[in-house]
Amino acid sequence: MPDILNLTIQQTINGVVMGCLYVMVALGLTLIYGVMNQINFAHADFVTLGGFAAYFFVQWVGGAYLLSIVVALFAGALLGYLINLTIFAPLRERGDELRPLIATIGVSILLENGSLLAFGPVPYQFNSPYDETIRFGKIFFTSQSLLVVIVASSTIAGLYLFMKYTFTGKALRAISQDRETAGLMGINQKFLIMLTIVIASAMAGMAGAMLGPILVLTPFAGASVIVKSFAIVIIGGFGNMAGTIIAGLLVGLIEAFTTQYLGSGVIDLVVFALLLVMLLVKPTGLVAEKKEENV
């Protein structure tokens, strides 16, 4: 097989792996925006704390890495539930949409500094037992990368099926389309908004558990992916799940090929150049926002 073809396949695999992680994080942002028409700036910290939950479960409890992903899922979900219960929900009840938005910034600062106080500034090396290299000729990837793709694909497919075919998922879509009418039809908005935050936070926690072995863990680990995740949401089309998935994989591929041909130092430059081009050429994103199709 020609070297250029080998290289293309190799970087495509690398891009899909990172793209799956980006999609896991960005879908949470998309879900919250699609249902609540709000941006959660604290989302990065759910990724970070999910990574630390998985790390300490493996290192302190001696649990299996696969089970640590489930632990991170529940840790993210619980944190999302508690923060919504104590901060976001009371602010929403006051009828001011700006206060919950500002609160997400405050929560982010609080969680980052709390993590810094609890875990310290020294990076944690999270070693996965799935570090075996799988080779097909000159093409190779680790079993951890394969695990990331399988878990992320399963989660994304499960979320899609939940939103498309379950009564609760349809109720979430109804709220995203017309919250007032959905309320008149007897849909419990408070419960579904809480559920939205819990699902988004759970996915962020899972992403943190899978990101930990790829990057070192620090109190600011989530920041390494959240900025690109915001870009992915914009590129894909605000509130649109299909657009977010396409954009996430696209950014992962762009990052992989940019690293190969231009170096890792210009990755952010290329990604945000794409973001600016999209805003200029097609500000609605790859998949235009349509309330009847969102989330």
Query: Using alpha carbons only, what angle is made at residue 249 by residues 245 and 252, rounded to the nearest 5 degrees?
Result: 140
**Residue 255, both tokens:** 């990052």
Among the listed residues 194, 52, 19, 69, the one whose alpha carbon sits nearest the alpha carbon of residue 125: 52
> Sign of torsion, CA 157 204 87 30?
negative
Q: How confident is the model at residue 78 (pLDDT cuts 50, 70, 90)?
A: very high
E strand or H helix that includes residue 195: helix 189-211
Instruction: Report the C-alpha gap between 254 and 271 in whole angstroms.
Output: 7
| Cβ contact 192:210 at 8 Å | no
Asked whether 54 and 71 are in contact (CB, 8 A), the reply is yes
Q: Which helix (H) or strand (E) holds 279?
A: helix 267-281
Q: Which whole number is the average pLDDT over 197-224?
A: 90
Q: Is the pLDDT of residue 1 over 60?
A: no
Across 88-92, 94-98, 258-262, least confident range? 94-98
Greater confidence (156 vs 288) lies with: 156
| Coil/strand/helix, residue 272 | helix
Reported pTM: 0.90
pLDDT of 151 over the 90 cut: yes
Beta strands per DSSP E along 92-161: 133-136, 139-142
Contact 151, 210 (CB under 8 A): yes
- Give the amino acid at 232: I
Is-contact 121 219, C-beta < 8 A? yes
pLDDT of 53 over the 80 cut: yes
User: Where are the chain's structural domains?
Assistant: 23-221
Q: Check whether 227 has a pLDDT greater than 90.
A: no
Is the pLDDT at 90 greater than 70, yes or no?
yes
The predicted structure's pLDDT at residue 136: 81
Question: What value does the mean pLDDT take over residues 26-48?
Answer: 89
**Using CA atoms, how far apart are residues 162 and 78, in angstroms rounded to an integer?**
20
Confidence class for position 33, pLDDT limits 50, 70, 90? confident
Q: Which of 22-36, 120-134, 193-207, 220-234 has the highest mean pLDDT?
A: 193-207
Q: Retrieve residue 167's tokens.
A: 């009564």
Query: Can you tell me whether residue 285 is helix, strand or coil?
Result: coil
Contact 11, 257 (CB under 8 A): yes
pLDDT tens-digit readout, 63-76 = 899 999 999 999 99
For residue 159 the two structure tokens come to 């979320």
